[in-house]
Amino acid sequence: MSDLTKEERAWLRKVQRVLDECPSKRLGFYTVGDPTIAVYDNTFDRAIDDISSVRGEFCTAVNECDAGFDLWLQFPSDVHSTAG
């Protein structure tokens, strides 16, 4: 297993503290496998699931439901999109 540097570990802890302070339960997040994490309104999850089960694309369903906040979090490297 790789080891983190002291600076990397401190940065990750700081990022986690900020995430833990989220003031809302409705913020949802997804990525398509690039450095960007999209933010959407997860109160639309049922409608998004219904649409994506037919069309197969989560991000398209978010757009069709007008559930996106037009806000993306930019990471310093790719956030790989995986399943499972």
pLDDT of residue 84: 64
Separation between Cα atoms, residue 14 and residue 8, nearest integer Å? 10
Q: What's the predicted TM-score (pTM) here?
A: 0.86
pLDDT of residue 30: 94
Asked whether residue 44 is domain-assigned, the answer is: yes
pLDDT of residue 82: 83
Phi-psi region of 15 (alpha: psi -120 to 50; beta: other; left: phi over 0): alpha
Q: Residue 64's domain spans which residues?
A: 24-84
Asked whether residue 74 is domain-assigned, the answer is: yes
Q: CA angle, 81 as apex, 80 and 83 as ends, to 5°?
A: 130
Total count of residues recorded for the chain: 84
Number of domains in the chain: 1
Q: Is the pLDDT of residue 12 over 70?
A: yes
Asked whether residue 4 is domain-assigned, the answer is: no
Q: CA angle, 49 as apex, 27 and 20 as ends, to 5°?
A: 20
pLDDT of residue 56: 81
Asked whether residue 19 is domain-assigned, the answer is: no
pLDDT tens, 27-69?
999 998 899 999 999 999 999 999 999 988 999 999 999 999 9
